[in-house]
Structure 1
Amino acid sequence: MMGVKLRSLINSLDNPVSNFDKFVVWLFLILTYLTVTSLVAEEVFPDFYYKNNEYFNGVEYLTLFVFSVEFIVRLFFSENKIKYITSFYGIIDLLSVLPSLFGILGTGSINGLWLRIFKVFRLVRLLKFVKLGNTVGGFIGKLIPFFAATIAFKGLVVVLESRYWWPDFQNIGVVVGVVGFALAILLGTKLRAVHSRISTIEAAVCRIVGALRDMQNQSNIRDDFLEWSRQLEKALKSPKEMMDDMAMNMRKKTDALEERLEKLEVGSGTTAGFHKDVVYLLHQATSETPSAYDKFLRYVIISYTIVVILAVPGMVGFISSVLMVYILGGMYFLIDDMDNPLDYGEGSFIDVRLDALEFYNRSGSGVINQISSIETGCRGTVSGYGLEQPEVI
């Protein structure tokens, strides 16, 4: 019975689902971060470290105990023990505990230069928590893997900075400032483009709904209008991988609807403007930032962060690196999310408001005498159809 529980616990560490699973994973994550803190304090603030040595040793003993138990349990319940020990994370798990155990058994101490060097391997354990990002979800969930990698990398750099052979970067501030300014321009350009795209999609939806209300009063195919608008809403909310096919299907439905309107002699100016807005909306719905620009932006952010990690020394560099990931990584993910404005999944932060279209479809026949701006998401009516210009709110 105990074996089943332990095996279940190990599986939970790899794929946390319940709140208890997440608690255990967070405990391991915090202990690993405390290892980083201990290493940084020992290298950067040696007086403070040795003054509070008993507290740091207490954390080290606790971490060593937890990691040792995890390693033993994983090894015991592994179907292929040799494969686990020789795997990448198996070696990291072993090197995370073995040197400290030898230190205690041999000298009774968990300090010493060679032990500190081997403690660096614990930092690689942070990479084991990249799956935690998907479990946590949300904005912080996306950044957790990058926080883990950055802290592990910077922790190693802090240890190496005290060595005589580590290069001393001079006048790096100018380079960091210039590249940072250029990076801000790149991010700002993409932000302006995706924000404009969101606004134009919302405005186009408002114009289309206004045209539908105008045309249904001039024809006897209100049910067809309602069916078409419901198909449009379904297309706009379809998954990204299906968007191109749904957009093509909506273009065909729009062509067929316009042919019927022409036979009914509905005003050509109204139908022409309506068709133009539908084509424009579907084009905006399927467009995205060029992949070359997006890749270049991503590579620049990664390169810039690596330079800061390597060139800015000590605790200032450590804090700067973490802030860099939070600010630049956060901006990148937010803007990238805005670049998919019609993604209504749980992981989406910002999306287009389709209030006007949704309210029109929920209204049954689509005939509502008085519609407030709050209900529709628009103010005014439709320009180009003999009506007023809408405003997105």
Structure 2
Amino acid sequence: MDDKNPYKIILNIISKLYPYVLLSLSLKMLIWFFESASWWPKINNPGIIIGVIGFGIAILLGAKLSVVNSRLYSIEDAVCRIVGSLRIFVNKKNVSKDIKGWAENFEVTLFDPAKEGIVSMRNQTDILIKKLVTEGHDGPNLSGFSRDVSYVLHRSTAEIPVAYEYFLTMISILYTLMIAVMLPGIAGFIAILIVVVVLMGAAVIIEDMDHPLDNSPTSLIVVNLEPLRHFIGQNKA
């Protein structure tokens, strides 16, 4: 993963958390005005309910983290294998120029993996593979190269299923509302602040990891394409 300025990372995290913190504290402030009313419900022991829902959220976030973390590193591993194949192909007869041009286009596509770019890259890969086969350079190396390229291009736009995201969002909102309602006074303000920072902070980080090829200025975690860029720098088309 690419290294970034730690101060910039912290500022990006704060900027992403700020709207959630502001909204949750505003909600708690609104609830606080009603807490002294006689009709406001009093819950003496909310720990069990809070614990059960919190445990459920932890499981869902943990499962999502496992998936996105595995995807991120598997993309990096596949890119390294692709570069290894390119280092062999670039020295083959009659295909060196094609390999260099393909590598540059591949890097551009991964930097901004739009759907149209992915389709175009797949077509370019098909053309390159056909030429490699025509020139007699087929074999295990080409097979692995084709498989890894297909994997990276597919994973570059893959995301966690929408239904999973919606359910996780729903119970996270429910959990925050429950904290705001069940914990009165100053303790409630402190609790909801901690919950939002921890819960939404984890969600923001994991969501950012779910887009490992997002190179926008506010991106926190991206795939390290340094091996590919190093190869391109060594072999300018």
Q: TM-score, normalised by structure 2?
A: 0.92
2:89–2:95 contact (8 Å) kept in structure 1 = no
Q: Does the alignment pair 1:176 with 2:47?
A: no
Cα distance in 2 between the residues matched to 1:267 and 1:147:
57
Report the CA distance between 1:267 and its aligned residue. Answer: 3.5
RCO comparison, higher one (Cα < 8 Å, 6+) = 2
Letter in 2 for 1:280: Y
Q: Distance in 1 between matches of 2:89 and 2:59?
A: 45
Q: Percent identity?
A: 38
Check whether the contact 1:158–1:314 (CA below 8 A) recurs between aligned residues.
Answer: yes
Match of 1:166 among 21, 37, 40: 40
Residues 1:149 and 2:7 are matched in the alignment: no
Q: For residue 317 of structure 1, give the secondary structure of its aligned residue in structure 2.
A: helix
Distance 2:121 2:15 in 1: 35
Conserved 8 A contact 2:75-2:152: yes
Q: CA offsets, 1:332-388, max 9 Å, x none?
A: 11110100000011010000000000111111358xxxxxxxxxxxxxxxxxxxxxx
2:185 counterpart (298, 314, 327) = 314
Structure 1 residue runs of 4+, over 4 Å off?
A: none
Rg larger in structure: 1
Q: What is aligned with 2:141?
A: 270
Distance 2:94 2:87 in 1: 12
Which residue type is aligned with residue 329 of structure 1?
M
User: What's 1:346 paired with?
Assistant: 217
2:84 matched to 1:210?
yes
Amino acid at match of 2:122: R
Tell me how far apart the structure 2 counterparts of residues 152 and 260 of structure 1 sit (CA, whole Å): 62
What are the within-5 Å matches in structure 2 for residues 76-115 of structure 1?
none
Secondary structure at 2:34's aligned position in 1? Answer: helix
Q: 2:123 aligns with which of 222, 227, 252?
A: 252
Please list every run of 5 or more consecutive structure 2 residues that lacks an aligned counterpart in the other structure: 1-9
Aligned to 1:333: 204
Q: 1:297 aligns with which of 153, 160, 168?
A: 168
**Secondary structure in structure 2 of the residue aligned to 1:232:** helix
How far is 1:292 from its partner?
1.0
Q: Residue 40 of structure 2 aligns to a residue in which SS?
A: coil
Query: Whole-Å Cα distance in 2 between the matches of residues 213 and 154 of structure 1?
Result: 59
Q: Distance in 1 between matches of 2:175 and 2:128?
A: 52
Q: Report SS of the residue matched to 2:170.
A: helix
**C-alpha distance in 2, partners of 1:326/1:340?**
21
> What is the aligned counterpart of 1:189 among 63, 66, 73?
63
Secondary structure at 2:224's aligned position in 1?
coil
CA RMSD for the aligned pairs? 1.5
Which of 210, 213, 233 is matched with 1:362 structurally?
Answer: 233
The question of whether the paired residues in 1 share the 8 Å contact of 2:68 and 2:209 is answered with: yes
User: Number of residues paired by the alignment?
Assistant: 228
User: Which residue, out of 70, 75, 92, partners 1:201?
Assistant: 75
Q: How far off its partner does 1:137 sit?
A: 6.3
Q: Tell me the amino acid that sits aligned with residue 292 of structure 1.
A: A
**Cα separation, 2, equivalents of 1:363 and 1:229:** 11
Inter-partner Cα distance in structure 2 for 1:225 and 1:168: 70
**Does residue 226 in structure 1 map to residue 94 in structure 2?**
no
